[in-house]
Amino acid sequence: MAALKALFSFDVAPDYYLVRIVGVIVGSASTIRPQVLAIACAVCLVLLIVEAALFGMGIGHY
């Protein structure tokens, strides 16, 4: 239970989230409207750039 608690309290490294979301992504893409998906993609892209920059600079965060 501690692992699940850590996951949902955002207390694990970012790479742990990535490996758990393949199914969620496919499910979202098959049920959510394309307009909403486009907005989600844009927001994700901004967050991805931030995450990549933090990683490249060696700034760890949870």
Shortest Cβ distance from residue 35 to another protein (Å)?
Answer: 11
Rounded to whole angstroms, the Cα distance separating 51 from 2 reads: 25
Cα radius of gyration (the chain): 14
Residues 2-41: x/- map of binding to another protein (CB under 8 A)? -----------xxxxxxxxxxx-xxxxxx---x--x--xx
CA-to-CA separations, 38 to 24, 33, 44, in angstroms, rounded: 16, 9, 10
62 in contact with another protein (CB under 8 A): no
Which parts of this chain interact with another protein (CB under 8 A)?
Answer: 13-23, 25-30, 34, 37, 40-41, 44-45, 47-48, 50-52, 55-58, 60
